[in-house]
Structure 1
Amino acid sequence: MTLVLAVLALAAGTYAVRLGGVHFGGSRLSLRLQHWGDPAVIVLIAGVAATATLFDGQSFAGWARVAGVTTAAVLAAMRVPLVVVVIAAAGVAASARALGID
């Protein structure tokens, strides 16, 4: 029963946000929310990425993962194609693990 209530609450919240976007689309409120919302999204994504990089459950994920993600971040900042970024990051992480760096 709790799951059903949670799904209904999330559905109602989603509907309210979408309806609010249509209603307040061209107003000053929309510009103010966009001004504060864009940096908030960047901070949220950076926090999730850092947590996923550094932790595996409750413990440290290991230096191999950190090296792979760092490689991916550097290559992405250089605007390398995504396929190359993914293959290089996986290669760095796999090589580190093969060398015993975990």
Structure 2
Amino acid sequence: MLGAGVGCYLLKLAGLSVPARVLANPVIARVAELIPVALLAALVAVQVLAAPEGRALVVDARAAALGVAVLLLLARAPFLVVVFGAAASAALLRLL
């Protein structure tokens, strides 16, 4: 546990010690902006499509709830409406 903590601290320190001239490069700045979006999308995909037991992909109520959330986001619904709409659609599908 202590080793993981030290590793995380060193990784954070490495990111903070990058010279400003490197971050001033437009390509590097754009990539740095897009990395969190890609990581979040990957986490969502794994949580939605991964089977609870094993290494299989599953399309179930979670995938439909993600679709509802995307549609609500495209309609520019407030965040709470998106969350509750996706949760309600997953609950209704599981009920059926």
Length-normalised TM-score, structure 2: 0.70
**Residue 20 of structure 2 aligns to a residue in which SS?**
coil
Partner of residue 26, structure 1: 20
Aligned with 2:3 (options 9, 23, 28): 9
Match of 1:69? 66
Question: What is residue 39 of structure 2 aligned with on the other side?
Answer: 44
Which structure's CA Rg is the greater one? 1
Once the two structures are overlaid, the 10-residue window that deviates more, 77-86 or 8-17, is 8-17
Is 2:82 the partner of 1:85? Answer: yes
User: Does 1:55 find its partner at 2:50?
Assistant: yes
1:19 and 1:63, CA in 2 relative to 1: closer, same or farther beyond 3 A?
Answer: closer
What code does the residue aligned with 1:88 have? Answer: G
Equivalent position of 1:4 in the other structure = none
Q: Which amino acid aligns with 1:16?
A: L
Q: Runs of 5+ in structure 2 lacking a partner?
A: none
State the alpha-carbon separation in 2 of the partners of residues 22 and 63 from structure 1.
41
Partners of 2:21 and 2:8 lie apart in 1 by: 20
CA 44–21 in structure 1, closer or farther in 2 if over 3 Å, else same: closer
Higher RCO (CA 8 Å, separation ≥ 6 residues): 1
Of 81, 87, 91, the match for 1:94: 91
Q: Any stretches of 5+ residues in structure 1 without a counterpart?
A: 1-6
State the shift of 1:81 in Å: 1.1
1:75 corresponds to which letter in structure 2?
L
User: RMSD across aligned C-alpha pairs, in angstroms?
Assistant: 2.4
Q: How many residues align?
A: 92
